[in-house]
Structure 1
Amino acid sequence: MTATATTGVRFCPGAVCFPADAVHTTPLGYDRQSIAIGAPLPVPASAELADRLGECDEILVSFQSKLGDSLLALSVVRALSDWFSLRSPARRLPVRVEGPYARLIARTGLPAGEPAVARGKFVVIGDRESVGRHHPAAHASIICDPAAPPCWSTDGQAQPDMPARHYLALERRLGIRLPATSTFAPTLVTGPNRLTQQLHAAGWFDGLTIAAITATSWPERKNYTAERFTEVAARIAEARQTPIRLLLIGGEHDGCVRIAAADSARGVRALYLDGLPADELADVFPRCDLVLGNDTGLTHLAALARDPDGGGPPVLGLYARHAHSKWRTGHPHHHAVATTFSERMHQGDLCPVRDTIAPGADVHLDAITPAALARVCMELLGRAYG
């Protein structure tokens, strides 16, 4: 299921399936594979919710919270859109998006149809704060709380990633087998923009390019540091006898964009990109050969951002404190390197914050050494170049 990268640290491939009896799960109550799409489920639907949703003529998507939480919750929008499509195949219910991630969400293709000129009954999907703001006018509400849905199990397999948790929770409440199967998170289609064109002209996508995400909302626990990422790149450059272009991506939110080249050393040419909007970075990630990052929103974004043909690099997330399986997109190219503590959070479907678990000795990314991480990266690059 997983492979040990070094003592106490494990590499967890994105395509791995977790048996239901190997981790703590909540039975979904039915085997999805045996139920036809659109067929009623053998569990009772939430009649009040289903009836109210059936009376709506517009979906409002409103996320204001963290980037990662918002992106991983887009499977809820997909589930509701799938449900409406099954009810009325000839009609696509209008989807309207607001908030700081509207342009990113538009890339999923989920927003569709013409918004109502005179708004009638609508359902709002979003985080608790956003839904609360629209609650007085909304006919129905769906709150996307990352702490709420459990790790479901069905057909003998666990469904631990957050998009699967959200999608299956809503499917269960609506009482109808929805279409999505192994991957529940929608992808974000990307293309060229001014930034990628400038980077391309300057040679940053020539040869082997690695993007390393240093942005984090919790520096004390999740900051792998630019220095460690640079050391990883240097080890890869030495092992492969090839120069590395390294894009170090920060996440300052002071409104200032900073782009600065660093000194080249040990075969690594580095460029700092700090304060860039997520919408622009979404177009950068698919141009790279590998993306590394801690458990943060930009890493999730990198895993969701794909070329129009579905192509893109492997994405490797680093997990020390939270469950590596829960905080991933569920896409097969989204891998993890996890400490023992992260593995235990995965096995027990636990959260150190929600469940107030005192931290152990290996809850910092220090436990993942550059040498161990470089070995995993070289294996992934070897697969990518086949």
Structure 2
Amino acid sequence: MPSDGAQYHPGSQIIPAEAIHTTPLGYDRASIPAGTPLPIPASAELTDQLSRCSEVEVAFHGKLGDTLLALAAVRALTEWLGLSAPPTVRAFGPYAGLITRSGLVTQAPSAASNGRHAVIGDRAAIGEQAEEATMSLVCDPAAPPCWSGDGRAHPDLPARYYLALERRLGVRLPGTPPFAPTLASRPSSFVEQLRSAGWLNGLTIAAITATSWPERKDYTDQRFTELAERIADVQQSNTRLLLVGGKPDGGVNIAVQSPRRNVQVLHLDGVPADHLADLFPHCDLVVGNDTGLTHLAAMTRRRDGGGPPVLGLYARHSHSKWRTGWPHHHAVATDLSHRMHQGDLCPVRDSIASDTDVHMNAITPASLAQLCVDLLNGIRR
């Protein structure tokens, strides 16, 4: 268990409603059958406009993590429309391929629209798609509060989106936690090349260093390498460490690093998210900062539903909000991150400055290693 100014928060943890700042749902969700009207009024304008739609266009152009966590809103919308008749769903934009893996998409984007349609996505994408739409729904991660109901809090962003739309639509939708859909991995020549080169033999750890905010969120190659060395020592196993980085030069760079003790290191910089979605489920453990690729690792599973535990490292933002809600998606968080969780705050949105400058270095490789070993051995859930 991390002890150097950081705490472990398991993905299976149920948080009591009274433990953190929440907004009550206003109804006892567990006692209401799916498809039943809620005891609070629906948004009449929203439901009237959407009831005219038989098609949905999903369009996201923003950050990968924001997009993936917002797919719960897409799920809620399509489930509501499906109470009358299954809608036609198409995905557009740079993440269309990943979104298709969720099972929410029913038709290729090239197919022509045959009727009234709703657009759901982020603000930038909707501006391009909404001109001919009957209705547009913007997914803003700052908007939905942390809901509570049935005695528990629902802090993860997918739950916030799903329940917010359920309340506005005025009908108990069929979903239950976790509300984030999973993305199916696929057979991949990229994965087979790594396997044939021995990178998926034995103990394989993927560590994500890619981030849009490196000075705050990057755990660094050096710390991840030390972490892998400590894990290898405890497990007494030759370990493969896949260091997943961003695109500093706009391209893909794959390079082998000189071995470190009993750890072999492979740098995967700029590898497309589609390839990584096929790779992550074949690893034994994924560790990463609070970033879109870590969320991707948590949402991507093999077709049999299996996959590795995923451990997110949180320095400033809420460790509970910026997670998928899946029980295999865990967190190690600093005290500041936990305070953001408890008060449902955001250091950027609410302009909250830390009174210390520790950030990621509060989570030491030494304190993190035993936790990772426990996750690898199925001890912590």
Q: TM-score range by the shorter chain?
A: over 0.9
Alpha-carbon RMSD: 1.5
Mark the CA change 1:146 to 1:385 in structure 2 (over 3 Å): closer, same or farther: closer
- The answer to whether the 8 Å contact 1:341/1:360 transfers is no
* Residue 278 of structure 2 corresponds to residue 283 of structure 1: yes
Q: Which residue of 2 aligns with 1:47?
A: 44
- Following TM superposition, by how much is the alpha carbon of 1:138 offset from its aligned partner in structure 2, in angstroms? 1.2
Residue 319 of structure 2 aligns with an amino acid whose one-letter code is H
* Residue 59 of structure 2 corresponds to residue 62 of structure 1: yes
Residue 17 of structure 1 aligns with an amino acid whose one-letter code is I
SS in 2 for 1:42: coil
Aligned with residue 229 of structure 2, among 214, 227, 234? 234
Aligned with residue 90 of structure 2, among 96, 106, 110? 96
Q: Which residue of 2 aligns with 1:315?
A: 310
Aligned with residue 68 of structure 2, among 71, 76, 79? 71
Mark the CA change 1:362 to 1:381 in structure 2 (over 3 Å): closer, same or farther: farther
- The answer to whether the 8 Å contact 1:316/1:334 transfers is yes
- Following TM superposition, by how much is the alpha carbon of 1:217 offset from its aligned partner in structure 2, in angstroms? 0.4
Mark the CA change 1:273 to 1:155 in structure 2 (over 3 Å): closer, same or farther: same
Residue range with higher mean Cα deviation, 336-345 or 245-254? 245-254
- The answer to whether the 8 Å contact 1:286/1:302 transfers is yes
Q: What is the distance in 2 between the residues matched to 1:378 and 1:170?
A: 39
SS in 2 for 1:173: helix
Identity %: 62
Residue 314 of structure 1 aligns with an amino acid whose one-letter code is P
Residue 10 of structure 1 aligns with an amino acid whose one-letter code is Q
SS in 2 for 1:5: coil
Residue 98 of structure 2 aligns with an amino acid whose one-letter code is L
- The answer to whether the 8 Å contact 1:131/1:143 transfers is yes
Q: What is the distance in 2 between the residues matched to 1:211 and 1:260?
A: 15
User: Per-residue CA shift, 1:146-192, capped at 9, x if unaligned?
Assistant: 00000000100000000000000000000000011111000000022
* Residue 72 of structure 2 corresponds to residue 82 of structure 1: no
SS in 1 for 2:331: strand
Mark the CA change 1:385 to 1:268 in structure 2 (over 3 Å): closer, same or farther: farther
Q: Which residue of 2 aligns with 1:375?
A: 370
Q: Which residue of 1 aligns with 2:243?
A: 248
Q: What is the distance in 2 between the residues matched to 1:385 and 1:146?
A: 30
- How many residues are matched? 380
- The answer to whether the 8 Å contact 2:4/2:363 transfers is no
Q: What is the distance in 2 between the residues matched to 1:149 and 1:328?
A: 14
Q: What is the distance in 2 between the residues matched to 1:153 and 1:239?
A: 41
Residue 79 of structure 2 aligns with an amino acid whose one-letter code is D
Q: What is the distance in 2 between the residues matched to 1:120 and 1:272?
A: 47
SS in 2 for 1:6: coil
Residue 339 of structure 1 aligns with an amino acid whose one-letter code is T
Residue 269 of structure 1 aligns with an amino acid whose one-letter code is Q
- Following TM superposition, by how much is the alpha carbon of 1:113 offset from its aligned partner in structure 2, in angstroms? 5.0
Aligned with residue 201 of structure 2, among 199, 206, 223? 206
- Following TM superposition, by how much is the alpha carbon of 1:341 offset from its aligned partner in structure 2, in angstroms? 0.4
- Following TM superposition, by how much is the alpha carbon of 1:134 offset from its aligned partner in structure 2, in angstroms? 2.6
Q: What is the distance in 2 between the residues matched to 1:280 and 1:331?
A: 22
* Residue 31 of structure 2 corresponds to residue 34 of structure 1: yes
Residue 94 of structure 1 aligns with an amino acid whose one-letter code is T
Please, which runs of 5 or more residues in structure 1 have no aligned partner?
A: none
Q: What is the distance in 2 between the residues matched to 1:96 and 1:258?
A: 32
Q: Which residue of 2 aligns with 1:19?
A: 16
Mark the CA change 1:272 to 1:113 in structure 2 (over 3 Å): closer, same or farther: closer
Please, which runs of 5 or more residues in structure 2 have no aligned partner?
A: none
Q: What is the distance in 2 between the residues matched to 1:251 and 1:229?
A: 15
User: Per-residue CA shift, 1:220-279, capped at 9, x if unaligned?
Assistant: 100100110000000011111111100000011644111100111121001000111100
- The answer to whether the 8 Å contact 1:320/1:362 transfers is no
Mark the CA change 1:20 to 1:231 in structure 2 (over 3 Å): closer, same or farther: same
- The answer to whether the 8 Å contact 2:91/2:108 transfers is no
Q: What is the distance in 1 between the residues matched to 2:242 and 2:379?
A: 19
